Every structure is written in structure tokens, then in C-alpha cells.
Structure 1
Amino acid sequence: MSLVQAPAVGISSLPLLSLLERGPQEYHQALELQRLIHGEVANGLRPSTLLLMEHQPVFTAGKRTELTDRPFSSTPVVDVDRGGKITWHGPGQLVGYPILRLRNPQELVGYVREIEQGIIDLLADFGVRGGRVDGRSGVWIEGERKIAAIGIRVAQGVTMHGFAINANCSLSPFEEIVPCGIRDATVTSISKELSRDVSVMDLLPLIEAKVVPILEGLT
């Protein structure tokens, strides 16, 4: 079965297309799937959809990435058309791509804040207190450890790219870069904060309970 044929799951009105059970996905193939779904949503052929997956190890470089930001690494670096700088994706990190026809596509800051709130609510169910930092996107622990990153693009009124939540991923790849261009902070994971293993599959029910309802309200 191809990626695009994976069944949508969930009880909400927002289809949730999860590839988590298939293991980490190669980034270029997943990006093509994201673009395909984006085109279908933009042309009215598919409802807004949340795509979930893990990636094989990869660095993705947003539009503001500078040459000096790039790592000296054997891990692939892929240039992408989202905002922001460079970050890492890989096993143990839940990546969500909300491909949504927004009611108000000009309200991008509000869109990011809503995603942040959904992730903050998700973390709270694990007993992890997440929050925001003024002037910086994503979700933070005590204002200094980033636990979830967000980078988006809107084309034809439909969103692409999305969020990445560190569940039990290795944090060492982040040492090869300045994550999201922020030099005075570190990166953490749910597992590190709790000193116990929390997998991406452990997050799935809370994505449906905490994040999906917020996304539904934006479409």
C-alpha cells in the first residue's frame, strides 16, 4: 500500500493520516506526499488533513538558513520552503503536518499560537509544564529548553509543514547545529524531562484529544 493510500483514522471531523506504525519515513518521499495532499486540499478534492509520522534522520533548512548554519555531517540536509532556520528530524520525534484550509489564512501568528497551545495541553497530560517564549515559536520548558518546534508555510490559503515534538529521540544531532537559529537555549524531550521512556505512539491519543480539536476550529 502506498503512503497516500494509508487509512485516515480518528473520530473527529478532521481526517488524521498516521504513518507512525510504518516506522521512520524518508523525508523526500514524505514531502511529496505532503505536497500531493496540499494540492488536493487547495483544489477542493480532499478535506483538511493532519498527517503524522516519524522521519529517517534528516536536517531541514528553512528559508532563513545561512551557510554557516549547516552542519558538517553525513546526515542529509534538505532545503525546504517553510519559515525559520535549520532543525533536525528523526526517530523518536513525532512530526505533524496539518494541511488545513484556514478560515483566516492571514492570521499566521494566531495559527502558530494555537498549535503551541495544543502541544502545551498535550504535555500537561504527561505532567510536563510547557510554555511559550516571547519572540520565539515552539514550546519550551522553563523558557530555556525547546521541546517542540514549529515551522509553517501557507500557499493558496492552505498550510504546509507543521510541528515536531521530541518524544524519545536522540538529542545529539541537535549539537551539530544551532536549532532554529537560537544560540542561547538547548533542546530537550519528553523522555528526558520525565526520566522515563515516552514513545511517539504514546503521544498519538493525545494528539487526537488535544491538538486535533484546536486544528478543527481553524478550518
Structure 2
Amino acid sequence: MAQTRAAPAEPLALDVQDWGRTEYRSAFAMQEALVRDRQEGRIGDTLVFTEHDQVYTLGARPGAERHLLLAESDAASSGIAVIKTNRGGDITYHGPGQVVGYPIIDLGARRDLHAYLRLLEQVLINTLGTLGLAAARRSGKTGIWLGTRKIAAIGVASRRWVTYHGFALNVNTDLAPFAGIVPCGITDGTVTSMHLELGHAIDMQEVKGLLASEFRTLLVASAHA
């Protein structure tokens, strides 16, 4: 007997979840469960926030492993896991003080991953602008930048047009672990954080609230474009 697919949730609704501090592998498994739920129409579009335990993640770009400057054993002795992922992009670092966003979004009606990436970039640019930082795209580079200083990384994947993975914004992040990698394979730039740029600690909850608001606004706009 054929199974009837559940009616999809209202496409412009956005459920925002905050998972708090998570271990990367556990968070990835939870992401995959949400992707399956979104594909089957059991949930609507969802934006997840989390803050990972220390980890270097290697994306699907060929040669990403060459940009890990430490032996994995040395990284482990510093409390930093090394994990291969299936997102786009190169190698990056996640850790405390960083807001990681995982949008689980059904693009089936639009089927334009490039437009979705531009949307993610604009969410970050608008949020940073609200908080006093004139961030921008950088020609030929991924992520969001202040000049040649990278403040946010972006790496996504999709499965049957449902997105997962997402972005990582350095808010109050300790930048020292970035010295153990060539972040995102970039050799003509550095990394920075909101804390470093603004000179004071930033309210993480305020940042998440602004990100969620911008994401919801731009998602609605893209649906009507």
C-alpha cells in the first residue's frame, strides 16, 4: 500500500531552536533527523542555533586536510576534535563563543542553492550592520568579511532540496585555535570576531535574535520574489 506524504507545513513559518552547547557529531545526527522530518513534511522550515565544543571540521573541498597544520594527536591533546564532514567548503574551527546556525529549509519550490547562499550572506551582513560592523562579501571568497578579516564562515549541503549545515559567526570566540589551520584555505586574510572588532563582549542571545529576525524576513522576501 502506497504511503501518503504528509502535507508540508506552512512554508513561510520558521521554527527557531537553540540547542545550547553541543558536541559536533551529536549535533550532526540531530540535523540529519530534522532533514528527514522536513523532507516528509513533519516539520516546517527550522533554524537551529548551537555553540560547539572545540572542533576542526573538514569540508568536502579536495585537499582540505592539507590545511590542518597540527597532527590530529596534537589537536586532541589541546581538546580539539578533528572531524570530516559533508558540507561544502574547506577546513574551519568551531568553539565556545561562536554562534553556529543550521537552517533546515525546503528549497523545493525554488531550487536555487546559489540564491540561498546569497540569502545566508545577507542575513549575516544585515545582522552585523545592526550591531555596528560594516561587513561585506569578498570577491572570489566564501563567508563574510571586514576587509581581509573573515568574521563568519559559510558551508552548506542539501539533500532532496532540504538544506543543512550553515554558518558560523565569531562573536566572543577565542581566535587562538585558528592558528592550527589555514581557515577555509585562505592565505591572504585573517580571522576576526565581533568582540575583537568592537572591543567588548557581545550578548550572544541578542545576536541570535537578530539573526533569526533577519533570516525570517529574507526568507519571506525570497518566497515572494
Q: When the two structures are superposed, what TM-score results if normalisation uses the length of structure 1?
A: 0.88
Q: State the match for 1:113 in structure 2.
A: 118
> 1:53 is matched with which residue: 35, 44, 50?
50
Match of 1:134 in 2: 139
For the 8 Å contact 1:93–1:166, the answer to whether it is kept is yes
Question: Structure 1 residues 122 and 87 mapped into 2: Cα distance closer, same or farther (>3 Å)?
Answer: same
2:3 aligned partner:
none
* Structure 1, gaps ≥5 residues long: 1-11
CA distances 1:176-200 after superposition (whole Å, capped 9, x unpaired): 1011111110000111110111142
Shift of 1:33: 0.3
User: In percent, how many aligned pairs have the same letter?
Assistant: 37
8 Å CA contact retained: 1:92, 1:168: yes
Structure 1 pair 97–217 and aligned structure 2 pair: CA distance change class (3 A): farther
Give the alignment's Cα RMSD to 1 decimal: 1.4
Residue segments in structure 2 that go unaligned for 5+ positions in a row: 1-11
Structure 2 counterpart of 1:62: 59
**CA–CA distance in structure 2, aligned partners of residues 175 and 38 of structure 1:** 33
CA deviation string 1:71-127 (max 9, x = no partner): 42221111111111100001000000000001322x222111111111111011111
Q: CA deviation at 1:211?
A: 2.2
Q: Does 1:186 align with 2:190?
A: yes
- Partner of 1:169, secondary structure, is coil
Quick one: which amino acid aligns to residue 129 of structure 2? A
State the 1:217 CA deviation. 4.2
User: How many pairs align?
Assistant: 203
The counterpart of 2:213, out of the listed 209, 214, 218, is 209
Query: Contact between 1:122 and 1:211, CA under 8 Å: does it hold in 2?
Result: no
Give the number of the structure whose alpha-carbon radius of gyration is greater. 2
Q: For residues 77 and 65 of structure 1, do their structure 2 counterparts lie closer, same or farther at Cα, with a shift above 3 Å needed?
A: farther
Alignment partner, residue 83 of structure 2: 78
Partners of 1:122 and 1:210 within 8 A in 2: yes
